[in-house]
Homo-oligomer: A and B are copies of this chain.
Amino acid sequence: MSDLTAVRLQTEDFSQDAEIAALKASSKRMGGIATFLGCARDFSEGREVSTIGFEAYGAMALSEMQQLRLDAIAKFELLDARIVHRIATVTAGDNIVFIAAGAEHRVAALAACHWMIDELKLRVPIWKKESTPQGDAWVVPHP
Q: Could you tell me which A residues sit within 8 Å of B by CB distance? A: 15-17, 20, 24, 28-43, 92-93, 104, 106, 109-110, 113-114, 117
Secondary structure of the A contact surface, majority rule: mixed
**A109 and B36 contacting across the interface, CB-CB below 8 Å:** yes
Q: Which of B31, B41, B117 contacts A29 (CB 8 A)?
A: B41
**B33 and A39 contacting across the interface, CB-CB below 8 Å:** yes
CA distance A13 to B89 in the complex (A): 33
Can you show 28 pairs from A to B with CB atoms below 8 A apart?
A16-B16, A16-B17, A16-B35, A17-B17, A28-B42, A28-B43, A28-B92, A29-B42, A29-B43, A30-B39, A30-B41, A31-B38, A31-B39, A31-B41, A32-B37, A32-B38, A32-B39, A33-B36, A33-B37, A34-B36, A34-B37, A35-B36, A35-B37, A36-B110, A38-B106, A41-B104, A110-B113, A110-B117
CA distance A32 to B40 in the complex (A): 9
Residues of B within 8 A of A16 (CB): 16-17, 20, 35
CA distance A32 to B93 in the complex (A): 10
